[in-house]
Amino acid sequence: MKYRTIGTDPKTRREVSVLALGAMRFGSETDEKTSFAVLDRYVEAGGTFVDTSNNYAFWVDGGQGGQSEEVLGRWRRSRGVGDEIVIATKLGARPLAPGTGYVDNGEGLSAKVIRESAERSRERLGVDRIDLLYAHIEDRTVPLRETVEGFAELVAEGTVGLLGVSNHAIWRVERARAIAAAAGLPGYEVLQYQHSHLRPRFDVRDAFFQDGSLGHAGAELLSYLRAEPDLTLVAYSPLLNGAYVREDKQVPPDYDHPGTPARLAVLREIAKETGATVNQVVLAWQIGGRFPMIPLAGASSVAQLEENLAAVDLELTEDQRARLDACS
């Protein structure tokens, strides 16, 4: 395994594995026995960075979520896992009532919600401190200052370490960070957005965000990261839920455009040259990228995890990386 540091403050920064494990489906679509097996193998391979959310996976049973955090908590207790494993979770998108969603009835990002939801996440995870806590989605009904101060209070109290943000417009990320900096408060240091080698169209609205671009790492976000090298991008859904390699999986509609075939062709060429899978080429390209990026990939079986783990040691040549970059 390889590692990189997230965060800048010596009190809260952490060294994490360059491949993060997504636990979204643990406890719901992936049963507990399989979830434990995947987690055990990930840790055995040197993995140290596990990602979840307080609303995973409310859409499976029409509830409010929390299954993933609960499974991680039981796994931690059964294995005696301590702070050597960095667990990141998110709040702000948990439905307020069963049978609803976060778009029409989400908990939001008020100071009250931040405090109460973080406390419940700590209870489910069985931790005294959440290593990395994200603002999951935007809440434009709450002043940014209130959200910034709400998160900062938890860091000051020691119940949260690093702060992150996901699926926000970049201008709001920068404004929140500026508010924090001006007040001498901790701000967002880790950004989690969907990012893969294929690029989506940003004029296609999806089911999750009113502005379909908010969840994707587009040109504006990538430019922002290049200008802010202390920030880290955690790239979720890097493998597009199997669309790269499974014949029964189609690329999402917003990826169905004239630029996609050329990118797929280069990926397949390099996979053939290296003897790797297309999935492994995508992950290796992200891990060795031009700015700090950590792919966040889920696994519903140990076999899937093994494929992902092998990408850590896949070394792309300068020519191969240049060809991938040229069409990205």
Gap between the Cα atoms of 296 and 23, Å rounded = 10
Q: Are strands 3-6 and 14-17 parallel, antiparallel or unpaired?
A: antiparallel
Question: Is the sign of the CA dihedral 137, 143, 148, 151 positive or negative?
Answer: negative
Q: Encoding tokens for residue 119?
A: 């406390």
Q: Encoding tokens for residue 297?
A: 């990939």
- Size of the chain, expressed as the number of residues it contains: 328
- Choice among 42, 56, 193, 244 that is catalytic: 56
Amino acid at 280: Q
Number of helical H runs and strand E runs in the chain: 12, 10
Amino acid at 72: L
- Crossing angle of helices 302-310 and 278-287, rounded to 10°: 50
Active-site residue 56, yes or no?
yes
Q: Encoding tokens for residue 84?
A: 């050597």
Residue linked to tokens 């379909």: 212
Gap between the Cα atoms of 198 and 238, Å rounded = 9
Gap between the Cα atoms of 158 and 325, Å rounded = 41
Where b means 16+ CB within 10 Å and e means fewer, 56-81 reads: bbbeeeebbbbbbbbbbbbbbeeeeb
Closest by CA position to 188, among listed 282, 90, 101, 49: 90
- Number of C-beta neighbours around residue 12 at 10 A: 19
For 5, residues 6+ apart whose C-beta sits below 8 A from its C-beta are 13, 14, 15, 16
- 3 state DSSP class of 307: helix
Q: What residues pair up with 3 in beta bridges, in sequence order?
A: 17
Tell me which residues are annotated as active site. Answer: 56
